[in-house]
Amino acid sequence: MKKLIILILVCTPFMLSAQVLTKKDLKDRSYGAKKLKKAPREIYINSFYIDYQTYKAVSASAASGFNKSTASIAVGMISELSPEDFQQITDKAYARAEKKLKEAGFRIVPAEEAKDIDMFKKLDMIKGGTNITGTSVNTIPSNKSFFYKPSTLDNSPKLSKQLGDIPVFELAIQVNFVELMRDNIGTGSTSVKGKVDLTFFPSISRVVWSNGGIMGAAKTMVIFDSKGRPIEIPGVIKSQKLKEYANAKGKTDYITGTKYNVKEKIEVSHPVNIDRDLYIKQVDTYINAYVDILVDEFLEYAVK
């Protein structure tokens, strides 16, 4: 059995929140930061990456004997937003961070200058810009270069040391409009659930300084996180919970004694309408506020 349910969430001009992101909304996990006043007035930006989710789908299946159930949800963004719009948000956030650092007297070491250190010799240099996938728009600042690191190991302290013991800045943010998850219930039954809500999650946001440390250890780090949960960006999408349930338990005709196998399949599509101008305004505001907190905190220790 197959059914299609369409839910359109129209973005109406409901009241925008006047509250701006502050340090109180974040967790400060910095250590050794007071020593930054002794750091060289150079900094290397190792990553500045923002990924904007545009589509997500998830399905779950369960079986009981020959009976099987499948529940699926696909959620897509419907908007006049263009790849250039996403790129512009990223470029503005990077320019804001760069301007603050330069005005405070820091020279930003370019990737072209750092390419000969041991850590980068075997890595590919990637140019800034937009990469469109089936589920998101990935962006790094235009006209900037970074080194692609396939390893998941944390080599930032080692990188700081190889660059001449200078601070290393790293930022990676995921902007999502929906979260989906599987929710298997029991034998023959399954469901998928989720929530439509515009949020961002900083997976990396820190400044690392080896400060003479050995064995790849950093003695100094300015680091913030979102207390392990996404940060809501209000005023763009009305929050909406989603859930689809499928049950495929077998049936028996007790008159004839015949047993029937059941296969139930639920497929649901949820297009989410998003106003382009509201999205740009609010995402831009919250990303910039977050970047300001990280950079200002670093400069508070390093300069003031």
Pairing outcome for strands 240-247 and 189-209:
antiparallel
Domain-located, residue 6: no
**DSSP letter, residue 36:** G
Among 76, 294, 257, CA closest to 180: 76
In a domain, 225, yes or no: yes
Q: Is residue 12 part of a domain?
A: no
Per mean pLDDT, which of 44-53, 180-189, 212-221, 244-253 is the most reliable? 44-53
* Mean per-residue pLDDT, 277-296: 96
Q: What is the pLDDT of residues 75-95, one digit of tens each?
A: 999 999 999 999 999 999 999
Q: What is the pLDDT of residues 125-161, one digit of tens each?
A: 999 999 999 899 999 999 999 997 765 556 888 899 9
d(CA 236, CA 197): 9
Assigned domain for 13 exists:
no
Q: Report which of residues 292 and 70 the model is more confident about.
A: 292
Q: Where are the beta strands (DSSP E) in 148-239?
A: 168-182, 189-209, 220-225, 231-232
Give the per-residue pLDDT at 246.
Answer: 61
Within 13 Å and on the Cβ side, how many CA atoms surround 241? 2
Q: What is the pLDDT of residue 244?
A: 74
d(CA 112, CA 93): 22
Note the pLDDT tens digit of each residue in 169-187: 999 999 999 998 877 655 5
Q: How far apart are CA 292 and CA 299, in angstroms?
A: 10
Dihedral of the alpha carbons of 198, 134, 183, 274, in degrees to the nearest 10: 30
* Domain presence at residue 164: yes
Answer whether residue 16 is part of any domain: no
With a CB cutoff of 8 Å and minimum separation 6, the contacts of 123 are 147, 148, 149
Cross-strand bridge partners of residue 189: 186, 247
Question: Residue 205 sits in which domain range?
Answer: 23-302
Q: Is residue 4 part of a domain?
A: no
Which residues make Cβ contacts (< 8 Å) with residue 251, sequence separation at least 6? 259, 260, 262
- For residue 177, count CB atoms less than 10 angstroms from its CB and return exposed for 0-12, middle for 13-18, buried for 19 or more: buried
Is 208 among the domain residues? yes
Domain count, the chain: 1
